[in-house]
Structure 1
Amino acid sequence: MHTGMLWFDDSQTTLDIKIQKAVDYFYKKYGRTPNLCLVHPNMLGDEKLKEEKITVRPYRPVLPGHLWIGNEDKS
């Protein structure tokens, strides 16, 4: 993913809820549904989440409390 939306959420909600809020906003703003969410490994813990239509992956450059959400490049 080369472009996407950086979303900050430091609330005490679960990662699933944070991702869903970001997905909803992304859709409202850009008119399409994202399929990739990159998060700091500390936010993910030991599990890799697979939401309905979005893949969640650890990515160390993303700061804790932030989500980098967008569409995966097809290369």
Structure 2
Amino acid sequence: MNTGMLWLDADARRTLDEKVERAVEYYRQKYGTTPDLCLVNTATFTEEELNIGQVKVQRTRTVLPHHFWVGVSAA
């Protein structure tokens, strides 16, 4: 992903799925396209990669905790 939108959601009452879905929906409304990639902090979940709907969720150390970097993957 070359560019994307950074989304903050530190609400402990929401699940990871809910947080990603909210970020994806906001991105879709704002930019008129559906993202297919979401980068999250490595502490967010233990698997290397996860799919939520049609969005691939990947861990990285470069994203702060509680932040979600959503966008379209670079082919």
> What TM-score do you get using the length of structure 2 for normalisation?
0.93
5 Å-filtered alignment, 1:24-35, equals: 24-35=25-36
The answer for the alignment partner of 1:67 in structure 2 is 68
Cα deviation for residue 52 of structure 1 reads: 1.6
In the TM superposition, what are the counterparts of 1:1-75 in structure 2 within 5 Å? 1-12=1-12, 13-46=14-47, 48-74=49-75
Q: Distance in 1 between matches of 2:74 and 2:57?
A: 15
Q: RMSD between aligned alpha carbons?
A: 1.1
Structure 1: 5+ residue stretches without partners: none
CA distance in 1, matches of 2:48, 2:59: 10
Instruction: Specify the code of the residue in structure 2 equivalent to 1:53.
Output: Q
The separation in 2 between residues aligned to 1:63 and 1:20, in whole angstroms, is 18
Superposition misfits of 4+ residues, deviation over 6 angstroms: none
Identical amino acids, percent of aligned pairs = 45
TM-score (norm 1): 0.93
Q: Structure 2 unaligned runs (5+)?
A: none
**How far off its partner does 1:40 sit?**
0.3
Aligned positions, number: 74
Instruction: Decide which structure has greater helix share.
Output: 1
CA shift at 1:47, angstroms?
Answer: 6.1
